[in-house]
Structure 1
Amino acid sequence: MDGAGEGLKRRRKLAPEARRQQLIEATIEVIAAQGLARTTQAEVARTAGLSHGLVNFHFSSKDKLLGATLAALAEEYRVNWQEALAAAPEDPAARLHALMLADFEPKVCTPERLSAWCAFWGEAQSRPIYQATCGAYDEEYNKIMEGLCRSLIAAGGYDLNAERVGRVLRVVTEGTWLDLLTMRSPYAREEAMATVLTTATAFFPRHFNERGLL
Structure 2
Amino acid sequence: MTKPDKKTRDAEKVARRRQSLTQAAITVIAQKGLPGVTLADVAREAGCGYGLVSFHFETKDRLLLAALDALVEEYRAAWHARSDAHADAAAKLEALIDLDLGSDVTDDRHIAVWTAFWAETSRNADYRARFSELNRAYMARLEPLVAALAASEPPAADVGLIAGGLSAIFDGLWVESQIGDGHGNADWTQARRICRAYLGAFFPKSFGTETDRLS
5+ residue gaps, structure 2, are 1-11
- The match for 2:50 among 49, 52, 58 is 52
Structure 2 vs 1, CA of residues 153 and 124 (structure 1 numbering), >3 Å: closer, same or farther?
closer
1:103 aligned residue (100, 105, 129)? 100
Aligned to 2:132: 135
Q: Is the 8 A contact 2:43 2:50 kept in 1?
A: yes
Match of 1:162 among 153, 159, 165: 159
Report the equivalent of 1:40: 38
Residue segments in structure 1 that go unaligned for 5+ positions in a row:
1-13
CA distances 1:22-60 after superposition (whole Å, capped 9, x unpaired): 111111111111111111111111121110000011111
Would you say the 8 A contact 1:26–1:44 is kept in 2? yes
C-alpha deviation, 1:81, in angstroms: 0.5
Deviations 1:145-192 (CA, angstroms, capped at 9, x unpaired): 112112211221322211110011111111111122222143432222
Identity of aligned residues (%): 34
Q: Which residue of 2 aligns with 1:172?
A: 169
Q: Which piece of structure 1 moves more, 139-148 or 112-121? A: 139-148
Backbone CA RMSD of aligned residues: 2.0
8 A contact 2:28–2:41 mirrored in 1:
yes
Aligned position for 1:191: 190
**TM-score, scaled to structure 1:** 0.85
Contact 1:81 1:102 in 2 (8 A): yes
Q: Please point out which of 129, 149, 163 is paired with 1:152.
A: 149
Q: Runs (4+) of structure 1 moved beyond 4 Å? A: none
Report the count of equivalent residues. 199
- Does structure 2 retain, via aligned residues, the 8 Å contact 1:121–1:127? no
